[in-house]
Amino acid sequence: MNAGSPQPLMPHGWDERHRVRTARIAQRPSGMMCARREAGARRPALSTSAPSTSAESPRAPEPRRGRFGARLFLLPALALLLGAISLFAVAPAEAQVPQANRLTALSLSVGGSSVTLSPSFAGATTNTYTATVAYDVNSVTVTATWTGSKTVSVISEDPVTLAQITSPIEFASSGSSVSVNLNPGGPTNLDFSVDQTGSVYIVRINRRPAQGVAPSPPTGLSATAEMESFTVSWTA
């Protein structure tokens, strides 16, 4: 406004009110400053003191799975474990010989000395056995035991040619013994029949090799001397 121009007329007291309003506006922070102050008010103050040792307010316990639910969860896992174990478990021996055709005991001996059966006799589950005798054994004594009324017999045969060495020999009664001839110089099969049902048990008898046995001395030894030679003869 130029000097000398007339001043506008202001209402009474206007200068004082304008001065107070201007001072308040100058003291009011800007919008950004207000936002920063509000953010600082909401931010938790960092404490420089030692952590409080007072107990925290207890939390509400989490829901626990009931025993019934846990058992339902374990049942499938247990079933899988048992199935895996059953794959490696050895199945129990099943009966291979009918009850009516079984022997309760079977033994072999030579000259009063028992001959070992392999495996041990088990009349219900095993029907094939092996035994070993000396190379010069010609016969074995066989003892058989059973229950009830049965007719039990045994034959010996060559396992290669199946030729009979001894015709069927019948046991007189349970617990009785018979003598059975063996294949000379080779293995022998003993076939046991119960009530004429064919072969029920088979015992394969092998011979130990003739090792460390001195030969028999010759007989009929004679010698003849001539001009340029000497002859010796004998019978083995």
**What is the CATH classification number for the domain harbouring 151?**
2.60.40.10
Q: CA-CA distance, 76 to 126, in Å (whole number)?
A: 38
Where b means 16+ CB within 10 Å and e means fewer, 79-110 reads eeeeeeeeeeeeeeeeeebeeebbbeebebeb
Q: What is the mean pLDDT of the chain?
A: 76
28 assigned to some structural domain: no
62 assigned to some structural domain: no
116 assigned to some structural domain: yes
* Residue-level pLDDT at 78: 73
60 assigned to some structural domain: no
* Residue-level pLDDT at 130: 97
Nearest to 192 by CA among 149, 148, 137, 146: 146
* Residue-level pLDDT at 185: 82
At 70, is the pLDDT very low, low, confident or very high (cuts 50, 70, 90)? Answer: low
* Residue-level pLDDT at 156: 96
42 assigned to some structural domain: no
Q: Which domain holds residue 193?
A: 99-207
pTM of the model: 0.52
* Residue-level pLDDT at 143: 97
Give the pLDDT mean for 217-227: 67
Write out pLDDT tens, residues 115-165. Answer: 999 999 999 999 999 999 999 999 999 999 999 999 999 999 999 998 999
Number of domains in the chain: 1
- The total of other beta-carbon atoms located within 10 Å of residue 132's CB is 14
122 assigned to some structural domain: yes
Give the pLDDT mean for 70-77: 66
